[in-house]
Structures are given as C-alpha cells and as structure tokens.
Chain A
Amino acid sequence: MAAVSEKFDYDQDYIGAEFDYPRYSKDNLEPYVDPYELPLDELNPASPSLFFRNLHWRHFKRLREEAPLHYTAQSMHGPYWSVTRYRDVKAIDMDHKTFSSYPAITVAEPDGDLPLPMFIAMDQPQHGPQRRAVSPVVGPRNLAALEPIIRERAGAILDGLPVGETFNWVDKVSIEQTTQMLATLFDFPFEDRYKLTRWSDVTTGSPESGVVESREARRLELIECREYFDRLWQQRIGNTEGNDLISLLANDPVTQDMPPDQFLGNLVLLIVGGNDTTRNSLSASVVALNQFPQQFDKLRANSGLVGNMVSEVIRWQTPLSHMRRRALRDVEMHGKTIREGDKVIMWYVSGNRDSEVFENPDDFDIERGNARSHVSFGFGIHRCMGNRVGEMQLRIVWEEFLKRFRNVEIVGDVERVYSDFVHGYKTLPVRLHAR
C-alpha cells in the first residue's frame, strides 16, 4: 500500500522501528515515580508497567489538568503526543482527514517482518469498502438472530460454574463467553475455539508481556493462524449464502483477492476486536461491582439497570486504553504544534475519566445519566464495528447471572494484563454465592 503522505514514508520511518529505551518486562518492571514528583515533560504514560500495576490514573489526571496536549520525547515506542481530555480525544477521532490511522492504531510500531495491514489501520478510500465487507455479520439483522444463541450459551456457562469454590472468572466466564461468540461469528470449528483465544493474545502480546517467547515465535503462531483460516477460506469460496465472517470476506469482490498479509491483518483485527474488549469488560464488571458494593445492591434490586450498567462498565474500564493516529499536516492545539508525521495517542482511558464530562468520574455508577457518551468505542468513521454484539453479550451474561446468583466475590489477588493497549485482567479469583 502507498504511504498516505508524500512527504513522509511511513513504512520506512516507522514500521519495524526500534527505539533507544531500556527494555522492561513483566518480570522487570519500569521503576515507578509518582507523576506529580516528575517534571511535566518526563511523563510517559505509554508504559505497560504502569498499567500492569494499575498506577496509570494519576499520570492521566495530571496531564488532563496541566498539559492536555503533551509531548513525550523518549519512550519504548519513540516520541509521541498524548491527548487526554474527552473533548480533544473526540475531536481528533472525528477528524480522519487530518489524523491518519495508517499504518497502525496502537502506540507500538508494527513488527517489520509481519506488519499486518488491516482496515482499522487504513484511511479512506481503502477503509470503507473493506469494513463494509464484514460489517453485516454484526449488523442489525444478525443481532436479533444472535440474541437467543448468546443467552443459551451464557446460561450454560454460568450453570457450569462451581458454587462455593474459588475459580478464575477470566478463564471460566469472560474468555469462555467471548470465544464461543467469536467461533459463532467465524463459523469456526467449535472444538478448536481456544485457538482463537490464543491468537488474540498472541496478536497483542509480546515477549515482554510473557505471552510469547520471542518475536519470531509470535510470527510463527500468527502464520499458523493464517494457514488455519486459509483452509476455512478455501472451503467457503462460493458460499455466498454464508453470513459468517470468512464467507463474507471470501465472497466480497473487495476482499476476495486480498494479499495474504492483509488477510491475516483483517483476521486478527476481528479476532482481537471480538475477544479482548468484551472479555475485559466482562471481567471489569466483577471488579467494579466488588469495589462499589452499593451498586451491586442496586443491581440486585432492579435488574432493569443492567443495560445502563453495561455502558458504565465500558466507560469505567475502557477495555482498549488508547488509539493512535498520525498527523497529516501541522496542527495547532493548546498553544503547541503537532508536526506533520507526528504520532498522536488518543487516551480513551483518560477521556472516560474527564470530570468536565463525567461527574465523579472515578466512581462506578450504574445509574449514570451519560454513561453512553463514553469514548471507548471511538467516534467517527473508525467507531467500533462490533459494539452492539459486545454490549449484548455483557447484558445477557448479567441478566442470566442475576437469575442464578446473589454475589460474585473477589477472594484473591487480581492480576492485570501487561500492556499499554489492552486494558484488562488476566486473573480474577472469585467465589460465587448462590441466591
């Protein structure tokens, strides 16, 4: 694909770029310094170590208050701008003509040996037709058909949980629920569905996060993913009746001749999009209801609040902490100049805690009037495609939960994901209380 700007060669300048910065990992965390003790220009929120320890909130609070447009000169991802206020995040998200999504939508640069082009990381005119090829699977017509399937599956998952014993909610509920859903959307061999979970983790994982041993190992697993899907693809060529994601891609004139790297890129986009986000919102609802037990009481008293609770969980958690853009021209903002080619990070996780828009933003309030205004789905042409399927899964799991249980109690240490992009949980030891 051609670079979007003539002045900058994005492929050459950024894809596979390595930056001079100490290598930290889950086992060797970046030392923590309170953000209010640091000179403002040394703040560097794009650090997985911060998110892993749930210590990122004060960084964003200070940035929103003192430097709503902030430049970090040195980081593991190279230099970048942080945008942290709700209004600014939204304005940049909507301005796709000034802020390009190419070549990637995370602060990390793509792997130079396996760059994974995907429609979310493309601009117009390429983006629209590719997105349209797959969006019917989560479109209104399919949603109504999916609801009873989701309800039956959610009920079965909940019925299989061991009451009174300690188990990991992430594995037994969040992953199980979203992986089954994803297998349905892909019409993927059901017995192999955990491969989807693994490929999702591998896509966003790194050697530093402990998910894969090396970059090479990551590449090999993703190529295995492509080969697996290629077999499904071959079987479904000509299946124009199929409303699963593979049949749609294999039979749409826009996508049927995709080169192999773009095929893999769009697959992992759909796998991660359909997996991590809903998974971590399902886990987050347990964390939030434990931290705010009065809200759990309210929910038990009135299951009609589940719908709004779902939006509030998605706001409170922000399952993807950011999206990244590139400036296509110089832009003045808050008295500073973003230069053409600069990397701009829209911190959704911060916009959702902006007190200008959300009263007492750190509180989890299932009756919050404007919970739906959250920025977690993004705004503008790249807005989350599967948002309704995600919301529907969360709503149904909690409706079915309330029919069966009185409480889900966190009884051990919560382990978070080592990532500055995926904002979620790896381990959530819980115990269920019967009704």
Chain B
Amino acid sequence: MPRLTFICHDGASHEVQGEVGRSVMNAAIDNLVPGIDADCGGECACATCHVYVDEAWLDKVGTPDEAEDAMLDLNPERAPNSRLSCQIPVTDALDGFRARVPEFQM
C-alpha cells in the first residue's frame, strides 16, 4: 500500500498507508491526521480537506477539475499547489506522497 505523509501546521509529520482506489483525504481521516475536517464527506462540496501538495508530487496528482477549482477559489490562502485531498485518488504511483496541512480549514 502506498505511504502518504502529511506535515501538520505544528511541524509534526504523520505517515499513513493509503488505500488504492480511495482518496488521499480518506487516508488522512482514517488515520486521524489532525487539521483535515472533510465536513462534506469527500464530495468536493466544502473545501475543508485542503492541503498544499509537495512540489515534487504535483505532476503525479494532476490538476484540479472545474468543480475543485471553484471550491479552492473560496480560500483566500489558496496557493498554486493547493488541492482538495478528497479529489486526489490514491494510486501506487503516489507511494512517498507528501503534503502540508494548513493551520485552519475554511
């Protein structure tokens, strides 16, 4: 199973196992990674699973679709590497994936 690392706002690093076919958000929630709320349950409807994807992994996770782009746009602290983790499917190619969790979800 791919290993995913979340770096939280306080600097703590959480390495979890992702399940292929589910989302990066699911892996974070299942493993109680702090700072990810996912209020809508993974439907790209609340933008509370926002992460900053490590530059090295941007190519592998692709770009947000129109719906995700609109939701990310709600956040005044959106950055070029911002993604909603519910919209990133876990694949074997993501083994070693790293992302930073923001201090607050919106």
Contacts and interface: CB of A to CB of B under 8 A. Distances in A.
B32 interface: no
29 contacts: A90-B40, A93-B45, A94-B43, A94-B44, A128-B73, A131-B74, A135-B74, A135-B75, A135-B76, A136-B76, A139-B75, A139-B76, A139-B77, A139-B106, A140-B76, A140-B77, A140-B103, A143-B104, A144-B104, A373-B39, A373-B41, A377-B39, A380-B45, A381-B71, A381-B73, A381-B74, A383-B74, A388-B104, A388-B106
Interface residues of A, number: 24
A235 interface: no
Contacts, number: 58
B27 to A, nearest CB: 19
A379 B40 CA distance: 8
A124 to B, nearest CB: 7
Interface residues of B, number: 21
B45 A94 contact: yes
A381 B37 CA distance: 17
Contacts of B74: 131, 135, 381, 383, 385
Interface in B64-80: 70-71, 73-77
3 closest residue pairs by CB, A with B: A379-B45, A140-B104, A139-B76
Contact of A372 (B39, B43, B75, B103): B39
B37 A372 contact: yes
Contacts of A383: 45-47, 74
Interface of A: 90, 93-94, 124, 128, 131-132, 135-136, 139-141, 143-144, 372-373, 377, 379-381, 383, 385, 387-388
Interface in B38-89: 39-41, 43-47, 70-71, 73-77
Contacts of A131: 74
A128 B70 contact: yes
Given A379-B43, A381-B70, 8 more contacts: A94-B44, A131-B74, A132-B76, A135-B75, A141-B76, A144-B103, A144-B104, A385-B74
B34 interface: no
A387 B106 CA distance: 8
Contacts of A93: 45
